Structure 1
Amino acid sequence: MASKIVFECAKILMDKKLTIAFAESATAGRLSAEFSLVPNCGGMLKGGIVCYDACIKQDVLGVPQELVETYTPESAEVTRELAQRLQDFMKTDIQVAVTGLTMPGGSETPEKPVGTMFVHAIIKGKPIALREVYQGSPEEIVLQTVDRLAQLLIDELNS
């Protein structure tokens, strides 16, 4: 069952007749899955691409290798590029990309600890970037990211 905030966000998207697509790294499809649990979601959810590994970011979505090498696969810069390139794959009103570190073994540093998540949304052409650090298990970090994105969209769409 999707969270209350995801339901609220989805309702706003449907009421405004807006469509959404996701490019997901750290969330590995969970955003798409959560939004798919809302009744009548076919009116707003167009799809998603899971690009967990850097090679998928590069080979499928076309993120330049230099960008990944310079900033790491889990970075604001790569996340922005994913959102921008998603526009070429899925024609939607809103494109969302997520990367981050839900567990050790990625590009974590003292400045970018495990729990750091990057979100980049393009809402009808307007870019919005978000960097948050969450605590908890990998699943808790992912679910906090899902809810934070839903709140971000609610705030933007109601402003």
Structure 2
Amino acid sequence: MTQALSEQLLALATDKRLTVTTAESCTGGMVAAAITDIAGSSTIFERGFVTYSNQAKHDMLGVRTETLDAFGAVSEEVAREMAEGARSAANADIAVAISGIAGPGGSEFKPEGRVCFGWSSIQGTGSETIEFGAIGRDKVRQASTKHALQKLLNAATLL
């Protein structure tokens, strides 16, 4: 399924001359890998960011320490700042960001399977939280990758 989404994204972004980037935490580069698995992806994708730690989010994407302290890494606020920072750093038209609890584990307040997505384009920014549930680390990461690709495709459609 990610291959089909990546192929659609490549075709649409190429046609519209758009570039995309990713800022990933719990997926560890899976979205970037899904995009770059498709031949010709270099026309739309120059770089992505794997920012697993809070320090990396701050250093590479400019996520404010105050935001991390107030809301935690797994939050829509951080996901939005990650997307904005990635879009700026990559000079891309569209960015998607992912931060979540893939598992195992979690807490009462941030359970396993909670993933926050952020996106940024010239039309603005947005975010959402998806509760995938305790379906296992691999499945949370796969579902998050698919969802992020769909977000990129949706954003490209609107531009």
**TM-score normalised by L of structure 2:** 0.87
Correspondence list, 1:4-83, <5 A:
4-83=4-83
Question: RMSD between aligned alpha carbons?
Answer: 2.0
Q: Is the 8 A contact 1:80 1:97 kept in 2?
A: yes
SS at match of 1:23: strand
Q: Compute the displacement of 1:126 (Å).
A: 2.0
Aligned residue identity for 1:149: A
Number of residue pairs matched by the alignment: 157
Q: Alpha-carbon deviations, 1:45-104, whole Å to 9, x = none?
A: 111111101111123333222211211111111111111222331101112211111014
**Partners in 1 of 2:154 and 2:86 — Cα distance?**
22
> Structure 1's 85 and 157: CA in aligned 2 closer, same or farther, altered over 3 A?
closer
Give % identity: 24
Q: Compute the displacement of 1:134 (Å).
A: 1.3
**Partners in 2 of 1:98 and 1:115 — Cα distance?**
12
**Partners in 1 of 2:13 and 2:74 — Cα distance?**
28
Q: Is the 8 A contact 1:79 1:120 kept in 2?
A: yes
Q: Is the 8 A contact 1:19 1:92 kept in 2?
A: yes
Q: Is the 8 A contact 1:2 1:38 kept in 2?
A: no
- The answer for unaligned runs of 5 or more in structure 2 is none
Q: Which has the larger helix fraction?
A: 2
**Partners in 2 of 1:100 and 1:44 — Cα distance?**
26
**Partners in 1 of 2:87 and 2:70 — Cα distance?**
23
**TM-score normalised by L of structure 1:** 0.87
Aligned residue identity for 1:3: Q
Correspondence list, 1:128-139, <5 A:
128-135=126-133, 136-139=135-138
